[in-house]
């Protein structure tokens, strides 16, 4: 009989999980359905919107574009792993302060991508912020307050 699942061990937001997954299971579905990290959302399933963005070993990835088996042995950080001891991550705080969201659907992915952008470039220009967030779509805000939030977070890091 052929085997239909394979074991994976993945650390998610600091906790190590060992689970059986189907080889075709997408990382985003593993995170939401098996680990319960429903803060990571699915906006398109076709790598367009960026709503599913998480960090895989410290770099942002669209988790609908990665198989769970490809993340075996990795560390994943989701938006739910950013808050520490009740204190929001500076980028979360900046989105809150600058009203960088309306419906909030894009926000988990925007925040994860913004953190990656600031890790790479701690002092980005407005143009660099807009181009760094190009893969993340927002249907509500017109991006203006999202850019302001990233600028505020960058200012705080200076």
Enumerate binding residues for ligand FES (CB under 6 A): 42-45, 47-52, 62, 64, 101-106, 138-141
Counting beta carbons within 10 angstroms of the beta carbon of residue 10, is it exposed (0 to 12), middle (13 to 18) or buried (19 or more)? buried
Instruction: Give the integer Cα–Cα distance in Å for 26 and 9.
Output: 15
Q: 20 or 33, CB closer to ligand FES? A: 33
Q: 5 or 47, CB closer to ligand FES? A: 47
Q: 66 or 118, CB closer to ligand FES? A: 66
Instruction: Give the integer Cα–Cα distance in Å for 68 and 76.
Output: 11
Least Å from the CB of residue 64 to ligand FES: 3
Least Å from the CB of residue 50 to ligand FES: 5
Q: 48 or 70, CB closer to ligand FES? A: 48
Least Å from the CB of residue 158 to ligand FES: 27
Give the strands of the sheet with 59-62, arranged side by side. 15-21, 6-12, 75-77, 53-56, 59-62
Least Å from the CB of residue 137 to ligand FES: 7
Q: 118 or 138, CB closer to ligand FES? A: 138
Phi, psi of 61 (to 5 degrees): -140, 150
Least Å from the CB of residue 76 to ligand FES: 14
């Amino acid at each position: 009989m052929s085997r239909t699942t394979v074991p994976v061990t993945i650390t998610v937001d600091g906790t190590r999980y060992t689970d059986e997954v189907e080889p075709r299971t997408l990382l985003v579905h593993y995170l939401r359905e098996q680990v319960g990290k429903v803060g990571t959302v699915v906006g398109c399933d076709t790598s367009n919107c960026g709503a599913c963005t998480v960090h895989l070993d410290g770099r942002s990835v669209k988790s609908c574009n990665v198989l769970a088996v490809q993340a075996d042995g990795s560390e994943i950080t989701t938006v739910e792993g950013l808050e520490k001891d009740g204190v929001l991550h500076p980028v979360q705080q900046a989105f809150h302060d600058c009203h960088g969201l309306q419906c909030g659907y894009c926000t988990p992915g925007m925040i994860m991508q913004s953190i990656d952008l600031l890790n790479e470039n701690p002092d980005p220009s407005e143009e660099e912020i807009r181009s760094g967030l190009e893969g993340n779509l927002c249907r509500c805000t017109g991006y203006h307050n999202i850019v302001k939030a990233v600028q505020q977070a960058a200012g705080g890091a200076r």
